[in-house]
Amino acid sequence: MTKQYFRKPIAGLMIVVWLTSLTLPSFAAPLPDLGDASSAIVSPDQEYRLGRAWLRQLRAQVPLIHDPLIYDYLYNLVYRLASASDIERPDIALVVINNAAINAFAVPGGVMGLNGGLLLNARTEDEVGGVIAHELAHLSQRHFARGVERSQQNSWAGLAALLASIAIAATAGGEAGMAALATTQAASIDAQLRFSRANEQEADRIGMQTLVRADMNPAAMADFFEALQRSMRYYGDLPPEFLLTHPVTESRITDARARAAQLPAKPSSDSLEFHLMKMRVEVEFTRDASAKISDLENQKQESTSFLEVTEYGLSCAYLKTNQLDKALQSIDRLLSRRPTRITYIASKAEILNKAGQYDTALRLLEKGLDFSPGNYPLSVLYADALTLDNQTDKAITVLREQLTQWEAQPLLWFMLAEAHGKAGNRLGVYQSKAEYFYLYGQTTKAIEQLQYALPLARDDFHVTARISDRIAEMQHSMRDLEI
């Protein structure tokens, strides 16, 4: 797996996003005038604009996972659960944070954040589903708006503190982030504790119902909470960040078990894709890839269970250490068993692209796209292979097709800028980079890119008008955090 998808792409380079400032974002300042108690709840439209603006701020401050296979797996799992939730028309913006700590969060306006560490530490797909279902319940019950109605200052400052703590944990280190979050929690705990507990209990109850409707095990939520509580002994005074925003007590686990017992029982699913993605994340987060290869090779010799997952882990680890021939051998063994599995096709294409075998990669991906048209991971790798093979016009077409569905995916805009650059289209580069910068909370830079584009479009009235309108939209969005 290439580092590209675990890094932030900027101006042709893949670099980790580091926190540039530990100060709270602008929306920690003046609070909005929400009127009297009867109109105090923030409207859904306000929540949406606030949430998406908050997400742009988050992207600017934490390292993200853009890996198309991991993102696609989690996105589909989120939407499987969202479709079974109380959210009428799910419009969820998912962000996956490049951090091995256990954490998940929901932000008003349909923003869902998951740490890579959630996949690392969950034992089943249903446990991940339980966490997602819980967060979806916070969104469907609009707990932020209800918090604003009850206590404007605490809720508004809490959202700012959440961004700051996530950013610190993801960049300065887990302990610093947990300490920061513990401090912000303590500041408002007296005023909010009872209300927060009620929110958590409600999210547990509704989340379990969502699990049942999604044909998943309702007891998985309690299973994961119990595993988290057992892990507390290894963390001392600084528990996993998830537990600081979602306190788990014996009574809460007991209550969750009692609620699950009243719902239709279902064993946890043993999803192969979950285990493959868990392994993919595990290999990426490993500090010593050579040692990981040794461990996996030993597992392959000594164990008869999960051999397919072990083989996939070896392929990923070989790729990470540039042992491309071995990586291809491993993935080919898997493809011989499951020739139409998207994960294996995409992973082989990834290896071929890195090896410079673009023709072979393109043929493989075209075959995959024949039976899975528009598939996100296959399309990303296809566009990458086309660009690397100097077939930029075709790459641009593929990326534009993907952007009709994934308009808020920064990776696609970066790749589009790269393809336009190879094609010598400066106008396309400026427009694509503008959208990329905008999604990363760098609105001033985004507008600057569009202003560079305007003179290049002066002979085309329609393009000039679109660019001018987009500048106005971006300028207006700078006030989204001031509602």
Among the residues of 355-391, which ranges form H helices?
358-371, 376-388
Name the DSSP letter for residue 457.
Answer: T
Q: How far, in Å, CA of 337 to CA of 293, rounded?
A: 22
Q: Which of 95, 125, 126, 123 is nearest to 109 (CA)?
A: 95
Q: Which of 56, 189, 39 is nearest to 111 (CA)?
A: 56
12: left (phi over 0), alpha (psi -120 to 50) or beta: left
Number of continuous H segments (helices) and E segments (strands) in the chain? 22, 5
Give the SS3 label for residue 81.
helix
47, 72, 125, 204: which one is catalytic? 204
Residue count of the chain: 483
67, 135, 311, 480: which one is catalytic? 135
Q: Are 154 and 188 in contact (CB under 8 A)?
A: yes
Q: Are 416 and 432 in contact (CB under 8 A)?
A: yes
Pairing of strands 111-115, 93-97: parallel
Note if 250 is an active site residue. Answer: no
Which residues are within 8 A (CB) of 429 and not within 5 positions of it... i.e. 6 or more apart? 417, 420, 421
Residue with tokens 């929690």: 185
∠ CA 66-379-402 to the nearest 5 degrees? 80
Give the number of other CB atoms < 10 A from CB of residue 127: 25
Note if 135 is an active site residue. Answer: yes
Residues assigned a catalytic role: 135, 204
